[in-house]
Amino acid sequence: MKILKSVSLILTMLLAFGTTTIMADSPAEIEADANNALQQFYHDVSGGKNFLENAKGYVVFPDVTEAGFFVGGKYGEGVLRVAGASKSFHSIAAASVGFQVGVQNYSLIIAFTSDNALRDFMSDLDDDWDTKMDFSFAMNEWNSEEELDDIDFGTNMVGFVFDSAGLMGNFTMEGTKFETIIPD
């Protein structure tokens, strides 16, 4: 019986993640959600606006949902912005197996702090891009009043997880895939 439940859970998750790319939000919805997420980020992270204005570019995923019970996955849609202008739309998706339990929803911003990192991300859009590339990647969850301008991440990409709701026993970027999407 447990095997049947596990198999049905896996099939349900695969179906859900497979159909979400077909039912992408419209560009206007993604833009509006991204703008709201940025406003929340600026409110929550002291120095966040200045940091993003000085970044070479950034991807905003305003609504990433992650769930798992030994088998897990996550999905979200977002927009790449360079010099404040939207350049392309992307999805983030992952599947994982291991010890994990829970459901979580959060916003994610990945900032590119070097021209090389942004160029590599943009040049790999046709082939998709994943976090297993030769980048050093720092992930940060913001729940403090720390001043962002005072931090040296020592990396050419920085990810910010914020506005988190729910509880997930595991969070990792391994196996995460970013794809270019064409919203309706």
Q: pLDDT digit string (tens) for 116-155?
A: 989 888 876 555 545 443 333 444 444 445 555 445 556 7
Phi, psi for 46 (deg, rounded to 5): -60, 125
Q: CA-to-CA distance for 16 and 170, rounded, in angstroms?
A: 20
The Cβ of residue 94 has, within 10 Å, a number of other Cβ atoms equal to 22
- pLDDT averaged over the chain? 75
- Enclosing domain of residue 171: 2-181
Tally of structural domains, the chain: 1
Mean pLDDT of 167-176: 58
Q: Which residue has the higher pLDDT, 36 or 125?
A: 36
Q: Give the predicted TM-score (pTM) of the model.
A: 0.74
**Chain centroid, CA 57 distance in Å:** 14
pLDDT of residue 168: 67
